[in-house]
A and B are shown apart, each in its own frame.
Chain A
Amino acid sequence: MTKTALFKLGLAAGLSLVAVAAAQAGTVRVTVAEYSAKTGPYFEEAAKSFEAANPGTDIEIEVVPWDVLLQKLTTDIAGGSNADLSIIGTRWLLDFVSQEVAEPLDAYITDEFKGRFIDTFLSPSVMDGKTYGLPIAASARAMYYNKALFEQAGIAEPPKTWDELKTSAEKISGLGGEVYGFGLQGKEIETDVYFYYGMWSYGAEILGADGTSGLDDPGAIEAAKLYKGLIDAKATQPGVTSYSREDVQNLFKQGKVGMMITAPFLSNQIKEEAPDLKYGVTAIPAGPSGDRGTYGVTDSIIMFKNSQVKDEAWKFMDYLFTTEMRSKFTEGEGFLPVNKEVAASDYFVNNADLKEFTALLPDARFAPVISGWEEIAQITSDALQKIYLGEGDLEATLKDAAAKADAILKQ
């Protein structure tokens, strides 16, 4: 060990040219996920105005791309150099809590503070009765449809059930000219989620009542058959396994697909990039029994247990969740309001697109709070890609994936 220390000393001495950013008292480091080009500037501005109001406290914002956020947090925590606050996917929270990395916030939360939130969005970050995170971003999913294409194909109403969706999609694909009915995502982040929409409609759940994977439930098999049927009938865009969420959104913006299911932020993008596109937002189609589900997602901001500046960090958190700061963020990024006052503001009350999303919230499912969720999502996506490509037997693939997921759940 002395050798180690000696070596490190030598190396450090050799590096005298390197400035070491020492954490001075009153510096709060905040890791934020980059949702769009607006995220960085928003937080920088928030930091500036907070510093002006709280002299002596320095806020350092670290903007991290979403795709590498988990990796960065992992290496940070492993190296003991994590920030004081960080945005995380709420579905990762369990790992952070069980490894005792996240600090419970109950000591700081007053009733007034708690009262600011819409309960649906606060509850996913509560574990064992303790609040470990605050919902910084929330979204749900609904179906976008292209009104012009519907008109051309002679469809009066957006589909209410998956059967209607199939008929409509086939009609739109039948228009020819490289226009496709239903945009189906088959690659990268949330490939599994795109499948759950169908699965929930057919009455299957990610986790069954007995706590095992629902991927081999009859409903899941029905949904997989439905999606595969859409692909085979050429009612989707070709080559679904090469389309990520962003790619399908691009198709929709170009007017090349009739329908797709995604989050509210697509409205903001269309406003900026394809202002002439005539589209509507409607509920996710229902299954034969009337079941339907949307995916609710929240990202949480958490405080790390090893933070040396918890009081200052909390003050900044509190500031971020004031109505003014919240509405600016939520409107800019195109998320759903988590704050009651923001939800009641003109912008949201008068926004027809967003109403569709909020109307679906009673049917919202959040990612189940289980450790190993990312691995199960990966297994599910892999199985779906196999099915979409037509490799192997559909039922066997799902059964196999369910068995793998169960093995993880048992751990």
Chain B
Amino acid sequence: MARRLSLQLTGRPLPVPSRARFLPYLLLLPSLVLAAGVIFWPVGDLLEIATNDVNRFGQLRGFNDFANFKALVADPNFTAALIRTVVWTVAVVGGTILISVPVALILNEDFYGRDVARVIVMLPWAVSLTMTAIVWRWALNGESGMLNSALRGLGLIDTNIQWLATADLAFPVQIGIGILVTIPFTTTIFLGGLSSIPPDLYEASALEGAGPWQQFRHITLPLLKPFLNIAMVLNTIYVFNSFPIIWVMTQGGPANSTDILVTHLYKLGFRIGKLGEASAVSVVTLAILLVFTIVYVRLAMREEAR
């Protein structure tokens, strides 16, 4: 009884018996060792390359006074790619969340064929991004693409649309495809979140006369918040780093007008062979994400504490 009381007073975590003080560390050890070994090891390497004069095969030729970073700042293509990356990330993540919340709500309802609907919504996830992008590129071809052919068949257009010829059209199309492939992951997270909301909360509020909108605002949304946060942070990271859609469809072209940081990085590193500058782009990318994550976690924590 006393144990129970103390628990309620101290809040969430269980009290740890003294003999088990090392237990949590032991439980965490394998995960941390693996993550540190495989992921953080290369980061050190990357930092070294980024601050060195380096040839195209990665042989280091000594510290070069941050010339790689200076070269980036002086390159208008880099700045343009940076801005475009922000647009890309905000548009894809924002669009995804706006669509996924109602989709998850619908899929959480009880209706005929729900299992089928769920499987269909998950389907884009079953295909690797690379393959999706290849299929879309094929479908969007101006003269022999099946999208134009379908739209013409339906009488929606008279002349073929050149989907990928200009950034004005290509970039929004890529954002749309980005949203489409991000929806399954996001919806699944939200479905998981929705299922963790106890139904009696709704019953109770219904008894008090709350309508569906009020229920959504006062029960669903607040309780979904942690899952929204997860979706927001993870999607931002994924989308920011997302490579195949843009690379396969336009390779960042025409004239670099659909380049984002990772495609710029790839071109620099593996097409042109400037590994130093490419590593510098990596470092900048990491720094941006780090700042974003820290700020976001701080904000989320402050809210939670409230």
- Answer whether A and B touch in the complex at a CB cut-off of 8 Å: yes
Where the two chains meet, the residues of A that have a C-beta atom closer than 8 Å to any C-beta of B are 7, 11, 68, 70-71, 74-75, 77-79, 95, 99, 101, 178, 186-188, 237-243, 247, 250-251, 254, 256, 372, 374-375, 378, 381-383, 385-386, 388-389, 391
By the criterion CB–CB under 8 Å, are B166 and A178 in contact?
A: no
By the criterion CB–CB under 8 Å, are A95 and B56 in contact?
A: yes
Hey, what's the 0/1 contact readout for B281-306 against A, CB within 8 Å counting as 1?
00000000000000000000000000
CB < 8 Å: which of B37, B164, B254, B273 contacts A74? B273
By the criterion CB–CB under 8 Å, are A99 and B165 in contact?
A: no
The answer for the CA separation of A242 and B148 in the assembled complex, in Å, is 14
Q: Do A241 and B143 contact each other (CB < 8 Å), given the known contacts A74-B273, A378-B272?
A: no
By the criterion CB–CB under 8 Å, are B162 and A374 in contact?
A: no
Residues of B with C-beta under 8 A to A241: 164-166, 253-255
Q: Jot down 17 A-B pairs with beta carbons below 8 A, ordered by A.
A: A68-B270, A70-B271, A74-B275, A78-B59, A99-B59, A101-B57, A178-B160, A187-B253, A188-B253, A237-B142, A241-B164, A241-B166, A242-B164, A374-B273, A375-B273, A385-B254, A389-B165
The answer for the CA separation of A242 and B255 in the assembled complex, in Å, is 11
The answer for the CA separation of A232 and B23 in the assembled complex, in Å, is 73
CB < 8 Å: which of B59, B144, B160, B253 contacts A385? B253
The answer for the CA separation of A68 and B243 in the assembled complex, in Å, is 14
A245 CB → nearest B CB, Å: 13
By the criterion CB–CB under 8 Å, are A378 and B59 in contact?
A: no
CB < 8 Å: which of A95, A188, A385 contacts B273? A95
Residues of A with C-beta under 8 A to B271: 70, 374-375, 378
Within 8 A of A (CB), among B152-206: 160, 162-166, 170
The answer for the CA separation of A251 and B165 in the assembled complex, in Å, is 16
Is residue B256 within 8 Å, beta carbon to beta carbon, of the partner chain? yes
Q: Do A389 and B166 contact each other (CB < 8 Å), given the known contacts A70-B270, A74-B273, A374-B271?
A: yes
By the criterion CB–CB under 8 Å, are A99 and B256 in contact?
A: no
Q: Which residue of A lies closest to B266 (CB)?
A: A71
Residues of A with C-beta under 8 A to B254: 186-187, 241-242, 385-386, 388-389
CB < 8 Å: which of A7, A68, A386 contacts B37? A7
Best-surrounded residue of B144, B250, B255, B271 (most CB of chain A within 10 A): B255
Residues of B with C-beta under 8 A to A389: 165-166, 254-255
Hey, what's the 0/1 contact readout for B31-65 against A, CB within 8 Å counting as 1?
00000010000000000000000011111000000
By the criterion CB–CB under 8 Å, are B56 and A74 in contact?
A: yes
Residues of A with C-beta under 8 A to B253: 187-188, 241, 381-382, 385
Residues of B with C-beta under 8 A to A240: 165
Is residue B241 within 8 Å, beta carbon to beta carbon, of the partner chain? no
The answer for the CA separation of A9 and B48 in the assembled complex, in Å, is 22
By the criterion CB–CB under 8 Å, are A188 and B251 in contact?
A: yes
Is residue B141 within 8 Å, beta carbon to beta carbon, of the partner chain? yes
Is residue B267 within 8 Å, beta carbon to beta carbon, of the partner chain? yes
CB < 8 Å: which of A374, A385, A386 contacts B272? A374
Residues of A with C-beta under 8 A to B144: 250-251, 254
B156 CB → nearest A CB, Å: 17
CB < 8 Å: which of A79, A188, A239 contacts B162? A239
Q: Do A251 and B143 contact each other (CB < 8 Å), given the known contacts A178-B160, A242-B164, A391-B255?
A: yes
Main SS of the interface on chain A?
helix
By the criterion CB–CB under 8 Å, are B142 and A242 in contact?
A: yes
Residues of A with C-beta under 8 A to B273: 70, 74, 95, 374-375
Q: Do A74 and B57 contact each other (CB < 8 Å), given the known contacts A187-B254, A389-B254?
A: yes
Q: Which bucket holds chain B's interface residue count?
A: 20 to 34
Residues of B with C-beta under 8 A to A382: 253, 255-256
The answer for the CA separation of A382 and B75 in the assembled complex, in Å, is 14
Q: Which residue of B lies closest to A390 (CB)?
A: B166
The answer for the CA separation of A78 and B250 in the assembled complex, in Å, is 28
Best-surrounded residue of A79, A241, A254, A256 (most CB of chain B within 10 A): A241
Residues of A with C-beta under 8 A to B160: 178, 238
Main SS of the interface on chain B?
loop
A397 CB → nearest B CB, Å: 9
Total contacts A to B, CB within 8 angstroms? 102
The answer for the CA separation of A333 and B57 in the assembled complex, in Å, is 30
The answer for the CA separation of A372 and B274 in the assembled complex, in Å, is 10
Q: Which residue of B lies closest to A383 (CB)?
A: B255
Given contacts A186-B254, A251-B144, 6 further A-B contacts (CB under 8 A): A187-B250, A239-B162, A242-B165, A242-B250, A375-B274, A385-B255
The answer for the CA separation of A101 and B267 in the assembled complex, in Å, is 22
Residues of B with C-beta under 8 A to A75: 58
The answer for the CA separation of A374 and B48 in the assembled complex, in Å, is 25
A183 CB → nearest B CB, Å: 10
Residues of A with C-beta under 8 A to B166: 239, 241, 389
By the criterion CB–CB under 8 Å, are B272 and A256 in contact?
A: no
Residues of A with C-beta under 8 A to B267: 378
By the criterion CB–CB under 8 Å, are B56 and A238 in contact?
A: no
Q: Do A74 and B165 contact each other (CB < 8 Å), given the known contacts A178-B143, A237-B143, A254-B144?
A: no
Residues of B with C-beta under 8 A to A186: 165, 254
A388 CB → nearest B CB, Å: 8
The answer for the CA separation of A186 and B255 in the assembled complex, in Å, is 10
Best-surrounded residue of A71, A239, A385 (most CB of chain B within 10 A): A239
B105 CB → nearest A CB, Å: 38
The answer for the CA separation of A18 and B86 in the assembled complex, in Å, is 40
The answer for the CA separation of A47 and B55 in the assembled complex, in Å, is 33
Residues of A with C-beta under 8 A to B56: 74, 95, 99
By the criterion CB–CB under 8 Å, are B37 and A11 in contact?
A: yes
Best-surrounded residue of B55, B57, B162 (most CB of chain A within 10 A): B57
By the criterion CB–CB under 8 Å, are B37 and A99 in contact?
A: no
Residues of B with C-beta under 8 A to A381: 253
By the criterion CB–CB under 8 Å, are B142 and A238 in contact?
A: yes
Q: Which residue of B lies closest to A98 (CB)?
A: B55
By the criterion CB–CB under 8 Å, are A375 and B272 in contact?
A: yes
The answer for the CA separation of A142 and B161 in the assembled complex, in Å, is 30
Q: Do A78 and B57 contact each other (CB < 8 Å), given the known contacts A186-B254, A378-B267?
A: yes
CB < 8 Å: which of A78, A247, A374, A385 contacts B58? A78
Residues of B with C-beta under 8 A to A256: 143
The answer for the CA separation of A263 and B142 in the assembled complex, in Å, is 23
By the criterion CB–CB under 8 Å, are A239 and B142 in contact?
A: yes
The answer for the CA separation of A241 and B255 in the assembled complex, in Å, is 9
Residues of A with C-beta under 8 A to B256: 382
Those 9 A-B pairs whose CB atoms lie nearest each other, nearest first: A239-B162, A78-B58, A239-B165, A71-B270, A385-B254, A241-B254, A242-B164, A385-B255, A242-B165
